[in-house]
Amino acid sequence: MTITKNQIESHGLKAEEYEKIKKLLGRDSNLLELGIFSAMWNEHCSYKSSKIHLKQLPTKNNIVIQGPGENAGVIDIGDDDAIVFKIESHNHPSFIEPYQGAATGVGGILRDVFTMGARPIALMNSIHFGSPKNKKTQHLLSGVVSGIGGYGNSVGVPTVGGETKFNSSYNENILVNAMAIGHANKNKIFYSKAKGLNKSVVYVGSKTGRDGIHGATMASAEFDENSEEKKPTVQVGDPFTEKLLLEACLELMKDNSIISIQDMGAAGLTSSSVEMASKGKLGIELNLNKVPCRENNMTPYEIMLSESQERMLIILDDKKEEEAKKIFDKWDLDFVVIGKTTDSNRLVLNFDNKKVADIPITALSDEAPLYERKWTKSKLSKNKTKIKDLKKIKIEDALIKILSSPDHSNKSWITDQYDQVVMCDTVQKSGGDSAVIRVHKKDKAIAISVDSSANYCKADPKSGGKQIVCENWRNLISVGAKPLAITNCLNFGSPEKPEVMGEFVECVNGIKEACEFLNFPVVSGNVSFYNETNSKSISPTPVVGGIGVFNNLKKIINMKTKKPGNLIIVIGKTLGHIEQSAFLKENFSISDGPPPEINLTNEKNNGLAVLKLIKENFVLSAHDISSGGMLVSLAEMCMASRLGLKIYKPKKLINSIEYFFGEDQGRYLIEIDKNNLKKIESSLKENNVFFEVIAEVQNDMFEIEKTFSMKINDLYNYNNQWYHNFNAIN
């Protein structure tokens, strides 16, 4: 048969890409082969527009066991303990079908973790929606949150936090980024690289259906007015089967049966078989008649491109099939030998006693297109925002507007839908700077934080990239953890637009610079391009998930102020930068000007100084200063504890608005016993760290001296009112 122009286009391939396919094959492809190339060469699987830029990210140091290139990253936290983690996007499916899109995003990232031999111990997420006024927002928000909770709760892994944000740029393209964290023995990590000839290739898990066909291709294309028609490309998840698959795989991993293992995620059986063979420089031959199918008369095309969930591909050592099958039979899961490894370096597919596909493995992997896209430098605004009569604005009114805004309001109505304590190792739930999970049965814990930086990145992509790494670093330090490594999910519009590609390149450069300076390597991640509808792109949205470690559970702290009479110190200098601030956005609907400067030297010095004070038991509570500035962060500490604060007006005041709402970076708030003030001052001066005593803890009033006073309960109520109003309207 001759492949038509329409068939090429419908598979997301360009004419010149198909010409390359023909050259690699030495002939025309058939439709099945076209589908396989489409799956492996799309943006989602091949990283054809991003790979050359991602290579510059720092990915190694003395604690990294496995960096990018496997199902998930792996770091060493001592005592033979390893943490396995990754974040990925499920943006397009979640917009089309919010419940299943979000649910299968959770399922997929869990499989990435336990495929490596780790038991999942926590989930996090970063979810972004359009304006609350948009008619779709309520539906999408409800569906996504239900999908995240429904899957995580059912599979029995705690969802311990994340972030939820709103912006009109996501009206037609929401973001759903899911992160999973697992614990493993560092000497028992499993990889996807195939080894050995004539080894059994085994299909395990759920049966294959017609759901999710072309899912990866759909995720590499922009939306239009016909996006609803893409619902069949959204996968359908079953968390109860996932739980069975998890336990079966971990049980099999206790012996030496597994040579390699790969989850069937994007592009399903196609990507899992090709990736295993490619890494091992081997061939693989499959009999598609043996693939367990839950629907009648499935074609080879449907079998290979299905993205049905809860499936794995395993290569077993010799004579291990019988014992392995007993395990999967016990867990009531399919276990079928569907092929073997070969020395052909080809993907050979058979069906009904006929060879239906024959493709060089390198053609699908090494020869995938690699583009050095044109990009343009972002136009940066250097103009200071001028607001008339800034001094006339009442500080308390501005504070209330921020605390009652969609982005800054209390999100417990979301997180309460997630089981945060299943497995009984959750030390600190959502609502703080970082969640904290105990390493099971040990006096050791990890901190987890997820953060994004859309507004800063839009204003200055390089600065935004640096900022979000630093924000994550601060969040980990604020609970007393030593920051170790990050995973990232980079959400952008079409890479074929030079301005979007420029945002991406500069953002990656910023992430690189910050990670190198802080010794904070990137060990895994995901790029999500084509987040746009009718050629309108989202704001560039890098998301960072970070891991820190505690070697002593007693060193964990939170943001809750502890006792009246204690002092609050601000670490880091306040210059009053209000451009791109929550103050301007929520009070004036202004999002102009440059983001705050990122001084990496100050970030590192200030963070390490705070961490030193925590280790020396001088810090009673801590909170980093981020969106909303100092006053919002102080209010958050007080609302967490229901204690008040008396805030001093500094003698050398820029102006009250800029001082209290400026978003200067690299700053922390720490609570101390006043009797320790001199010792703390000496330590900070010794390390050349700027600080100010800013407030004193008191009973129930939140006040700035000679300016305003408010009961903590009133502040708390303002922070909780947005959802009730939103829910009533919708």
Say how far apart CA 461 and CA 473 lie, in whole Å: 19
| Residues whose CB is less than 8 angstroms from the CB of residue 676 and which lie 6 or more positions away in sequence, other chains included | 618
Strand order in the sheet with 482-491: 426-428, 435-438, 445-452, 541-550, 482-491, 522-528
| Of 237, 242, 93, nearest in space to 176 by CA | 93
**Strand ranges for 25-148 from DSSP E:** 64-66, 73-76, 81-89, 119-129
Strand order in the sheet with 64-66: 64-66, 73-76, 81-89, 175-185, 119-129, 159-166
Catalytic member of 11, 44, 214, 408: 44
Half-sphere exposure of 581 (CA within 13 A, CB side): 32
Say how far apart CA 34 and CA 18 lie, in whole Å: 8
Indicate the DSSP class of residue 651. Answer: S
| Of 635, 616, 464, 646, nearest in space to 543 by CA | 464
Distance (Å) of CA 95 to CA 137, 219, 305, 453: 10, 11, 21, 21
Catalytic member of 90, 214, 408, 623: 90
Tell me how far the alpha carbon of residue 114 is from its chain's centroid. Answer: 17
Confirm whether 90 is a catalytic residue: yes
- For the chain, report the end-to-end CA distance as a whole number of angstroms: 53
Residues in the chain: 730
Helix axes 600-615, 677-686, angle to 10 degrees: 140
Confirm whether 183 is a catalytic residue: no
Say how far apart CA 510 and CA 516 lie, in whole Å: 10
| Of 407, 431, 408, 406, nearest in space to 418 by CA | 431
Do the beta carbons of residue 466 and residue 502 sit within 8 Å? no
Half-sphere exposure of 137 (CA within 13 A, CB side): 23
Taking the CB of residue 387, how many other CB atoms lie within 10 A of it?
A: 16
Helix axes 239-252, 98-114, angle to 10 degrees: 10
Taking the CB of residue 104, how many other CB atoms lie within 10 A of it?
A: 32
Say how far apart CA 312 and CA 268 lie, in whole Å: 9
Active site residues: 44, 90
